[in-house]
Amino acid sequence: MSPQTSVQPSNRLLESLPRRLRDRLLNGCESVSLSFGTVLCERDQRLLHVYFPVTGFISLVAPIGRHPALELGLIGNEGMLGVTLVLGVGTGRLRSIVQGTGTALRMGVSRFRRELRESPALRRTLNRYVYVLLAQLSQTAACTRFHEIKARLACWLLLTHDRSQADTIYLTHQYLADMLGVQRSAVTIAAGELQKKKLIHYSRGAIEIRDRRGLEAASCECYEAEIRDYKRLFA
């Protein structure tokens, strides 16, 4: 990651804060680029920075033995990486890896802890975000167990589309299969069905969203549940 200077901050979690507090936090952040595949924090590793994504997004994945890591959560401009610090925990339970190239606002942990001590408003807001993130993790676990692959793929594409701020998502079928915890052939079949309905168009390494409403109809209820929690707490 390299420092950037020209990005206008537009993290929705920061924007939900009172103006004076938001401005103070922004003054304590630096803008950095997020490169696809960069590991921001390994599981059980001590956090050095917190990140507020602006245009990039981050996957929370669980490494399980010799199996490919399974994705359990996504963090885009609606949230932050490092919110466990609100609970007094300075390590990450899951591996945090950049899935969408873009930018983020970054703050050192010591500065962030000081802000938490001095600002009840910040703590209240982040407590709500902790709830949203926990709800997302539990919803993903249930979805992985009970829902068919095509509906899960549609849900995942919608969540990624929300955070990518672009209609084309650059990922291979193998990478997507690893994130969903299924065989590559299963993703190929599910993507083919969505493409046959003209909801998406995929080619090697790229998936284009062509019918957003149709994709919402094809998704399981988990997509609506995840965005409903956020809207309810951050209206």
User: What CATH code would you report for 3-142?
Assistant: 2.60.120.10
Per-residue pLDDT band at 150 (split at 50, 70, 90): very high
Structure tokens at 165: 């701020």
pLDDT digits (tens, 9 = 90+) for 19-70: 999 999 999 999 999 999 999 999 999 999 999 999 999 999 998 888 888 9
pLDDT-based confidence at residue 204 (cuts at 50, 70, 90): confident
pLDDT of the residue at 10:
82
92 sits in the region (left: phi over 0; alpha: psi -120 to 50; else beta) called: beta
What is the pLDDT averaged over residues 192-214?
95
Contact (CB, 8 A) for 13 and 52? yes
Give the chain's mean pLDDT. 92
DSSP characters over 175-205? HHHHHHTS-HHHHHHHHHHHHHTTSEEEETT
Q: With beta carbons less than 8 A apart as the criterion, state whether 72 and 139 touch.
A: no
Q: Are 151 and 220 a contacting pair, CB within 8 Å?
A: yes
165-193 pLDDT tens trace = 889 999 888 889 988 999 999 999 999 99
Average pLDDT for 114-132: 96
The answer to whether the beta carbons of residues 218 and 151 sit under 8 Å apart is: yes
pTM above 0.75, yes or no: yes
- Among residues 55, 206, 176, 72, the alpha carbon closest in space to that of 134 is found at 72
Q: What is the mean pLDDT of residues 97-103?
A: 94
Q: Would you state the pLDDT for residue 41?
A: 95
pLDDT score for 2: 43
Asked if the model's pLDDT at residue 217 lies above 90, the reply is yes
What Cα–Cα distance (Å) separates residue 100 from each residue in 38, 141, 218?
A: 10, 22, 23
- pLDDT, residue 8, reads 55
The two domains 3-142 and 148-219 share their CATH topology (first three levels equal): no
What topology does CATH give the domain 148-219? Arc Repressor Mutant, subunit A (1.10.10)
| Token reading at 17 | 């804060």
pLDDT band at residue 164 under the 50/70/90 scheme: confident
Q: Where are the domains of the chain?
A: 3-142, 148-219
Question: Residue 153 is inside which H or E element, if any?
Answer: helix 149-164
Residue type, 233: L
Alpha-carbon distances, residue 113 vs 50, 94, 177 (angstroms): 10, 21, 37
Q: Name the pLDDT band for 7 (thresholds 50, 70, 90).
A: very low
